[in-house]
Amino acid sequence: MDLSVVIPCYNEEESLVELHRRVQSACKKADIKTYEIILVNDGSSDSTLSLMQDLSKKDKTLLIIDLSRNHGHQIALSAGLSQATGDYIFILDADLQDPPELLQPMLDRAKTGIDVVYGKRSVRKGETWFKLIAAKVFYKTLSYLSDIQIPENVGDFRLISKRVLDQLQDMPEQHRFIRGMIAWIGFPQEAFLYERDARYAGVTKYSFTKLIQFSMDAISSFSIRPLRISLVFALFGTLFAIFLGGSALYSYFFRDTISGWTSLAMIIAFFSSLQLICIGLIGEYIGRTYIQTKKRPLYIIRRLYKNGEKI
């Protein structure tokens, strides 16, 4: 199989037929012989599934995956990817915000040896200012917190090679932030600038809670820094405790203080700092255990050489 197209769909009845038409025509025009289109129904409550079934009666290239309930975008996408058999995998949203017609130009880039050609939005049409600001804050926080560089203004719209998909399948983590995981994998990756259209129909399927959940998954998947925050507080706490202790002693000897205040202030300052240090240390171990439980590969080999030759 030359190409797999993977599309997660949640309540996308209004876009589905048009989506299918445009993806089909892009695949037919592209420089490939065989392809499959994998549509994942992520527990839709509208007629998305029955529309998919109708389409698949007429179209042999379609594979429909019907999930048991709504699992969320990233899990639905993972389900689709797990069935993909193509040499290249084209990932896009069901709402036609990512133009399927970019398949050929992205494929051209991929064939020059680029493993990941990811769509980068130069313009985002039809987005609310709230979403634009939220996205900006989110990406800034993420890039500050995480150790690897995760490109900004990039969604899951991309073309990836089979070897990247194979690596992705070896990352069994539960909370999945796929664009970050692909950035983590490495291999040659390149941005492809495009203008992001407004939704073809319907409204965003990312509710506010889903968006928060998604951001938490993204940050916690790539950083244990928040767990270290108590160590930073502990540092300030300790400095403050030393200062407070000093001033309490000074007051005891040189000023009038209520009896018992000095010892009480010192005990509180000392033990609060001690507690913060201990919480920070526990956080450090929890962070390490957390990273270990993700069972990601330690490294990924790009190629081996022997006698100066690739093997």
Bridge partners for 5 per DSSP: 37, 90
Residue 297 φ/ψ region, left for φ over 0, alpha for ψ in the -120 to 50 degree band, beta for the rest: beta
Q: Which of 3, 5, 6, 8 binds ligand UDP (CB under 6 A)?
A: 8
Scored b (16 or more CB within 10 A) or e, 13-23 reads bbbbeebbebb
Q: What is the largest CA-CA distance in the chain?
A: 93
* 135 near ligand UDP (CB under 6 A): no
* 36 near Mg ion (CB under 5 A): no
Residue 76 contact, options ligand UDP, Mg ion, none, Cβ 5-8 Å cut-off depending on partner type:
ligand UDP
CA nearest neighbour of 183 among 160, 150, 216: 150
Cβ nearer to ligand UDP, comparing 29 with 125: 125
Q: Which of residues 69-128 bind Mg ion (CB under 5 A)?
A: 93, 95, 97
Neighbours of 228 (CB within 10 A): 15
Q: Would you say 160 and 116 are in contact if contact means Cβ atoms under 8 Å apart?
A: yes
Q: Which of 4, 24, 78, 97 binds ligand UDP (CB under 6 A)?
A: 97
* 98 near ligand UDP (CB under 6 A): no
* 223 near Mg ion (CB under 5 A): no
Phi, psi of 153 (to 5 degrees): 60, 35
Neighbours of 108 (CB within 10 A): 13
Site string for ligand UDP, 13-42 (x = CB under 6 A): -----------------------------x
Cβ nearer to ligand UDP, comparing 130 with 305: 130
Cβ nearer to Mg ion, comparing 129 with 299: 129
* 161 near Mg ion (CB under 5 A): no
Give 231's DSSP letter: H
Residue 220 contact, options ligand UDP, Mg ion, none, Cβ 5-8 Å cut-off depending on partner type:
none
Residues in the chain: 311
Cβ nearer to Mg ion, comparing 97 with 221: 97
Structure tokens at 121: 């939005």
Site residues (vs ligand UDP, CB under 6 A)? 8-10, 12, 42, 70, 72-73, 76, 93-95, 97, 204-206
Site residues (vs Mg ion, CB under 5 A)? 93, 95, 97
